[in-house]
Amino acid sequence: MTTTAAVPTPQPTGRPLWRRLIGFNLLTAVALGVGGYYLGWFIGHQISAKSLAYQEKTSENDVALLVAYLFGVVGFLIGLGFANYPVSRLLGRPASLREKEEEGIGRYFGLCTDHKVVGMQYLIGIGLFFFIGGVNAMLIRTELLHSTPTFVGPGQYISLVGMHGTMMMGMMTSGILGPFANYFVPIMLGARRMAFPRIEALTFWLLMAAGFILTSTIFFGGFPTGWTGYEPLNDQAVMGMDSYIIFFALVGISMCLLGLNMMATIITMRAPGLTWSRLPIFVWSVLATAVLMVLAAPVLVATLTMAALDRTIDTSFFIPGGGGSSYLFENLFWFFGHPEVYILALPGFGIVLELLPVFTRKPLWGYRLAVSGMLGVTLLSFFVWQHHLFVSGINADLRPFYMLSTEIISIPTGFIFLCAMGTLWKARSSFSVPMLFCLAWVFNFLIGGLSGVFVSDTPSDTSTHGSFFTMAHFHYTIMGGLIFTFFAAIYYWVPKMTGLRFNERLAKLHFWLMFIAFNSTFLPLFAIGMMGQPRRVSQYAPNLHALNTWVSISAFVLGLSMLIFIANTVYSMIFVRLPVAMNPWRSKSIEWQIPTPVPVYNFEQVPVFDSDPYDYGTPIHVGGTRPEPAGA
Amino acid sequence: MASPSEGLPLGRTVPPVPAGVEIPPEPPDVGARALSVASRLLAGATTFFFLAFIFAYFYLRSINVEHLWRHGHIDPNQALGGAMIGCVVLSAILAIVSGRQMKAGSRSWPAPAAGAVVLGLAAVALQCIEYTRQHFGPTDGAYASVFCAWTALYLIAVLGTMYWLETQVATELRARREPAPTSGDIGRADELIAPALDATVFYWAFLAAIGVVTYVVLYLL
């Protein structure tokens, strides 16, 4: 790599402590968020005063809660400083970033336009909500230790299921793009920042506000619809449903902006020489995901807006009594919902294909095939949504088309699989922890994909729809596909992000426990589903008790594996703090060629690329002097 | 890449760079291209947002549940609706003229741009007036629901775009008042106005086209 375009050496700056405490930061944001919430609550009550009798009778006021949430979010963002820039632009001040970035740990608790800080914020923030979603899963499995409602009632059970599903499906949409794409895509492109750094920060803080709002649903009775929010149950539900609506709408806005920013960055900010055919495969997967985010998320936001209007001002989009139709919700929701599955899966594909060459010391097999597979999945994912409605009374003539389009999507997905297999073929692999997680993806996603054929096929879907079979299928694709690659990325890239390394022994223990417990949990669910146990119901036939007990115990072991991961993180990152080698995986990708931790400005000089990052095959010489960092 | 990782001293950490330093500026052409791409992507996102309403319109109209799609008395005010869309179209034309003047190097481009902002805001005002005059509300069946929600969200989009256009005019006027601006880290103001205006004009023209579709579907069909 050669270099061009030298830039001036940046100088450290600082702000007085009092200024940092009372300025625009998380403290101010929480204060204004709470204030905004109560102001909105008051205004909402004034707006809806004419239906006061109804409110007093039912203790329900959807208008007040929705307005309170909106005001709360706006106050929160103002407190973080997001309103300063738009107001300054309104007055004609020129476009600029923040004058100076915050120093030290304080920058992680406020609006920061450094993509690396945002990446770290995402990692911690999403990890927190992933933990809450996981605790919900443990509670669900605790209830299913008994064949009749015991631990929680049926209403609380469905709320737990809804919280778990919504938290996981909503927050984890940015599970890989949030931390890892924000952190590494600009570096992989040879850029110093994202195209729109302020929007990048906004996507994170919107997501955090959304997560908090969803968690607050427990104070308003929860919601009974699961993560899909189906009508007419949506319209009939208590105020906890409003939390769901605002949560997913904020997630949709965050997703759309994140995708837009990623696409603009990848298209316009590539360093000289970084042609499309030299782009790291992870960046291609981010690009494909971003397309889905930009185009599918707006439909979700529009749908939830309609649902919110139905609940507040009595429009009738989804209310048959007023001329609406609940099938309209199903269609609109799944137009977003199925691409959403690929929003979760595609970054996982990218991680696996990015990491396999590193640990097999071989070039990526079928680079162009992998790219075409990702783009094929992106395109086709918009033409399959009605397979979710096979048993909901759709026109029978439509079923063959959607069955075929769904099954055709396995072809581009197969391309990805083929490229992974081709890269592994005759490789002398090293089985480091990230590699183990990638190999687990191969196993899990194969089962997820094969079981997908049964739910995409109309006749078999008729018997498996709404059962634990479907639940097992999507856990194999989403958890087996996304969460395993999420951990692969954590073990692979977090050492770069922090400069510290994980304890290898604990990491391997985490992997093996997680892999075995995951399969022990979800494989039996295929059988349980085929034997007729429905989703979202806490009561089941007594003859399924033994299998359910097995699954619950396995799920607890799966939870234990997560605790081992947390313990390893705390132990390695806080107590032991062993520094990581500059390039522990001996990767040829650019992020491993620059100093650790990555400097604020990424590169002293803009790098020039003259090849792709997968030219492995030459032996690595260990020892000797450290070469100049990329761009030096 | 030409600089592989051979010869790395495994087990060493490069000292961290002091925190709190400024990120060096991007070349102005990068910001310009990013804005241009972003405006196209935003147009795509906006299209899919309003497609949901178009889908709702035709879906509910075609199934016409219990003949509740549209009662006889539900008829939006054609004059106000026509005036509103007229303002939108005129505003978009003025914005395009302004963009062309900017590209041609004329200093008079803020005048048509300001006119475009005024007309855009007039369109919002006309739609609000229509809400107060129409003989139906959002609870009067499926068509009324689609009409009220779609037009209200369109107005929000128009307001946002007018804000965006206003920032270009305000930046230019301030730059004229206070020459040699030191915008700092993402390019000089005068270098960024042209691509920002170009992006705004593109998006506004696109949104106006969506407005025309809105008018045809909600008022004429």
DSSP string, A230-289: -TTHHHHS-THHHHHHHHHHHHHHHHHHHHHHHHHHHHH-PPTT--GGGS-HHHHHHHHH
Cα four-point dihedral sign B184, B188, B192, B193: positive
Contact between B185 and A97 using a beta-carbon 8 Å cutoff: yes
What is the domain extent for residue A187? 112-608
Distance from C-alpha of A107 to C-alpha of A111, rounded to nearest angstrom = 7
Does residue A80 sit in the same domain as residue A130? no
A180 with A493: CB under 8 angstroms?
Answer: yes
The answer on A207 and A71 residing in a single domain is no
Q: What are B31-43's pLDDT values in tens digits?
A: 889 999 999 999 9
- Domain B28-220 - what CATH class? mainly alpha
| pLDDT tens-digit readout, B78-109 | 999 999 999 999 999 999 999 999 988 888 99
- The answer on A163 and A74 residing in a single domain is no
Tokens of A555: 């799920």
**Does residue A166 share a domain with residue A77?**
no
Residue B73 has pLDDT above 90, yes or no: no
- Split into its structural domains, chain A has a count of 2
For the four alpha carbons of A628, A631, B5 and B10, in that order, the dihedral sign comes to positive
Instruction: Confirm or reject contact between A102 and chain B (CB < 8 A).
Output: yes
Euclidean distance between CA atoms A492 and B60, whole angstroms: 50
**B 173-192 → A contacts, CB under 8 A:** 173-175, 181, 183-189, 192
The predicted pLDDT at position B21 comes to: 54
pLDDT for residue B16 is more than 60: no
In A, residues 152-211, which contact B (CB 8 Å cutoff)?
A: 192-193, 195-196
The amino acid at B88: V
Written as six digits, the tokens of A37 are 């919430």
pLDDT at A500: 93
Q: Which B residues 42-71 touch A at CB under 8 Å?
A: 42, 44-46, 48-53, 55-56, 59-60, 63-66, 68-69
Token look-up 């709470």 returns A34
ipTM for the predicted complex comes to: 0.91
Same domain for A267 and A191, yes or no, is: yes
Tell me whether residue A625 is in a domain: no
Q: Given this model, what pLDDT does residue B2 score?
A: 37
Pairing of strands A2-6, A605-608: antiparallel
Q: Which helix (H) or strand (E) holds B142?
A: helix B142-177
Q: What is the structure's pLDDT at A394?
A: 82
Distance, in Å, from the CA atom of A479 to the CA atom of A487, rounded to the nearest integer, reads: 11
The pLDDT of residue B107 is 87
Residue B183: pLDDT above 60?
no
Residue ranges of chain A with pLDDT lower than 70? 1-21, 49-58, 95-103, 618-632
Q: Are residues A125 and A241 in the same domain?
A: yes
Q: Do A70 and A144 lie in a common domain?
A: no
Work out the number of other CB atoms within 10 angstroms of the CB of residue A535.
16
The amino acid that residue B27 corresponds to is: P
| Count of beta carbons in the 10 Å neighbourhood of residue A46 | 10
In single-letter form, the type of residue at position B111 comes to: A
More confident call, B120 vs B4: B120
| Beta carbons of A182 and A115 less than 8 angstroms apart | yes
| Alpha carbons A184 and A224: distance in angstroms, whole number | 39
Question: Among all chains, which residue has been given the structure tokens 């952190």?
Answer: A183
Q: Which amino acid is at A90?
A: L
Residues A50 and A181 in one domain: no
Same structural domain, A64 and A129: no
Domain boundary among A45, A66, A93: A93
- Is it the case that residue B12 has pLDDT exceeding 80? no
Amino acid at A399: R
Query: For the residues B186-202, what does the mean pLDDT come to?
Result: 78
Question: Which chain B residues are within 8 Å of A14, Cβ to Cβ?
Answer: 20
pLDDT at position B17 is: 41
Q: Which amino acid is at B174?
A: R
First to last CA, chain B: 59
User: Phi/psi zone of residue A616: left (φ > 0), alpha (ψ -120 to 50 degrees), beta?
Assistant: beta
Tokens of A508: 């391997």
Q: Does A423 touch chain B (CB under 8 A)?
A: no
Is pLDDT at B10 greater than 50 in this prediction?
Answer: no
Question: Are residues A564 and A459 located together in one domain of the fold?
Answer: yes
pLDDT tens digits, A371-412: 999 999 999 999 998 888 888 878 888 899 999 999 999 999
Spell out the domain ranges in chain B: 28-220
B142 near A CB under 8 A: yes
* AA letter at A247: F
Structure-token match 């008994």, residue found: A146
| Beta bridge partners of residue A607, listed in sequence order | A3
Helix (H/G/I), strand (E/B), else coil: A231: coil
Q: What confidence score (pLDDT) does residue B1 get?
A: 44
Residue A5: Cβ-neighbour burial (10 angstroms; 0-12, 13-18, 19+): middle
Q: What is the CA radius of gyration of chain B?
A: 24
Place of tokens 């007309």: B119
* Residues on chain A touching B141 (C-beta within 8 angstroms): 316, 322-323
For A605, residues 6+ apart whose C-beta sits below 8 A from its C-beta are: A3, A4, A5, A6, A7, A631, A632
Tokens 């889905």, residue?
A292
Q: Which of A92, A297, A335 sits opposite B171 (nearest CB)?
A: A92
In three-state secondary structure terms, B199 is helix
CATH of the domain at A490: 1.20.210.10
Restricting to A residues 594-613, those with a Cβ less than 8 Å away from any Cβ of B are: 595-597, 599-601, 609-613
Nearest CA in chain A to B32: A268
Over its C-alpha atoms, chain A yields an Rg (Å, rounded) of 25
Which H or E run includes A6? strand A2-6
Residue B121: enclosing H or E segment and its boundaries?
A: helix B110-133
Same domain, A228 and A79: no
Q: Name the strand (E) or helix (H) holding A557.
A: helix A545-570
Statement to judge: residues A281 and A215 lie in one domain: yes
**What are φ and ψ of residue A394, in 5° steps?**
-75, 165
